Amino acid sequence: MTWQPGDAIVRREIVGDAPWLGWMVNVVEDSPNLLAIYSPPGSRFHFPPGDWPTPDGRHPWHGYQGWQGQGTLMLQRPMDRYAVWLFWDGPDREFQGWYINLESPFTRTEIGIDTMDLELDIVVAPDRSWSMKDVDLLWQRRQEGRFSLNDVRSILDLGDGIGRMLDDGDWWWDDEWIGWEPDPAWAVPAIPRNWELVDCAIQPTCEVNMSRPVSYPQRARSRRAAFSR
Ligand SMILES: [Mg+2]
């Protein structure tokens, strides 16, 4: 499955064998060494209904309509465990910096790509100073059973490695992306029906030793069962 610039696909974040979050993005570049996608402003967040393991049982993104402000560009090389996000802001699309989002390598599906957020992030300012974000969340996920101790160690090692890469100025992504602009003709259709279905025959995260939240939505479960018939 490969795509052309402007194609609208679903970017999903998968936990175990079910989607945690999904939204529509446009493909910017799909080449052997790089997948670049764009989250356009207003692209709605989707998540399965049900009881989520949060204090009020609602999904953590409940109440958020979707992407606000200027859109976000996401660069990821195949098999990398992080993507490089670029943010702009304001009417003049002033560059706000990079955001290294640690996530599992993307896999291609019939409707888009699947990945899994690894919680740890690295914020890189336009002057290239950087800082880690959400280290504490790793330990919270460990307590909740989503990450094992080895997962946490491996994610911290990954973050350290990226930090060294930043310190060395050894970036693989091009500064020219800072000046990139989306094609105003690109459209973002509604998310496909049944976007929640996860095909474990092609989805490696199903095999990841990562117990999903205890009260995972029943509806998503039953739909998966129907899908695997
Ligand atoms: Mg993240």
**Spatial separation of the C-alpha atoms in residues 46 and 141, rounded to whole Å:** 22
Give the catalytic positions in this structure. Answer: 133
What is the 3-class SS of the chain, one letter each residue? CCCCCCCEEEEEEEECCEEEEEEEEEEEEEECCEEEEEECCCCECECCCCCCCCCCCCCCCCCCCECCCCCEEEEECCCCCEEEEEEEECCCCEEEEEEEEEECCCEECCCEEEECEEEEEEEECCCCCEEEECHHHHHHHHHHCCCCHHHHHHHHHHHHHHHHHHHCCCCCCCHHHHHCCCCCCCCCCCCCCCCCCCCCCCCHHHHCCCCCCCCCCHHHHHHHHHHCC
Q: What percent of the chain has pLDDT over 90?
A: 62
> Which residues, at least 6 apart from 147, have a Cβ–Cβ distance to it below 8 Å?
119, 138, 141, 155, 210
Q: Which two tokens stand for residue 150?
A: 């080895």
Q: Which two tokens stand for residue 152?
A: 């946490």
Instruction: Please check the confidence at residue 62 and state whether its pLDDT lies above 50.
Output: yes
pLDDT at 72 over 60: yes
- Cα-to-centroid distance, 83 and ligand 1 (Å): 9
Q: Which residues are close to ligand 1, an ion, with C-beta < 5 A?
A: 101, 117, 121
* Window from 94-108, 150-164, 187-201, 215-229 with minimum mean pLDDT: 215-229
C-alpha 137 – ligand 1 centre gap (Å): 10
Give 218 Cα–ligand 1 centroid separation in angstroms.
Answer: 26
Does residue 100 surpass a pLDDT of 80? Answer: yes
Q: What is the pLDDT of residue 57?
A: 78
Closest CA to 102 of 175, 171, 156, 38: 156
Tens of pLDDT, residue by residue over 111-150, are 999 999 999 999 999 999 999 999 999 998 888 788 899 9
- Delimit the domains of the chain by residue range: 8-227
| Per-residue model confidence as pLDDT tens digits over 47-57 | 887 777 677 87
DSSP-assigned beta bridge partners for residue 117: 103
**CA 26 centroid distance within chain:** 14
Looking at domain 8-227, its CATH architecture is: Beta Barrel (2.40)
Residue 18 Cα to ligand 1 middle (Å): 18
Looking at residue 60, what is its pLDDT? 78
pLDDT at residue 199 tops 90: no
Contacts of 138 (CB under 8 A, 6+ apart): 119, 120, 147, 152, 155, 156
Q: Residue 181 C-alpha to ligand 1 middle, in angstroms?
A: 23
Question: With 80 as the cut, is the pLDDT of residue 217 above it?
Answer: no
